[in-house]
Amino acid sequence: MIGRLQCVVLDCPDAGELARFYGALLGGEVNRPDPRWSLDDDWSTLHTAGGLVLAFQRVADHRPPRWPDPARPQQFHLDLGVEDLDTAQEQALALGATLLDGGDGKRSWRVFADPAGHPFCLVRD
């Protein structure tokens, strides 16, 4: 095991609005303070009663998916919590991941693609 699932992140045009929608749908607390994430106009979270965390990331010029149109596919990524970013990166790359954004060495996360091209982040716990 390299990491554990921290949250599922959905791209959207308005992070707060979508967080409130899912909060009403699923229950839970919108934008509960959590040291893992900074909350702002571009990033909101929903901590559900069952422990699942959904995060919502504002994307400029967001184009919503059209089910089941492959030209406009579903949009989300996984955040995986890890103890050591460098070690986790080596392990993920060995499994076939591709580094998309290694950051500047100061960030607490790095972006990868799985072998099928889906993005995911390794995030320092």
Pairing of strands 43-47, 53-58: antiparallel
What would the DSSP string read from start to end of 75-108? -EEEEEEES-HHHHHHHHHHTT-EEEE-TTSSSS
Q: Is there a contact between 119 and 111 (Cβ–Cβ < 8 Å)?
A: yes
pLDDT of residue 95: 94
Q: Are 45 and 28 in contact (CB under 8 A)?
A: no
Domains contained in the chain, number: 1
pLDDT tens for the 125 residues of the chain, in order = 999 999 999 999 999 999 999 999 899 999 999 999 899 999 999 999 889 999 999 999 998 888 889 998 888 888 999 999 999 999 999 999 999 999 887 889 999 999 878 899 999 98
Checking DSSP bridges between strand 76-82 and strand 119-124, what pairing results, if any?
A: parallel
pTM of the model: 0.80
pLDDT at residue 74 in the model? 80
Q: Where in the sequence is the domain holding 38, given as residue range(s)?
A: 4-124
CATH number at residue 96: 3.10.180.10
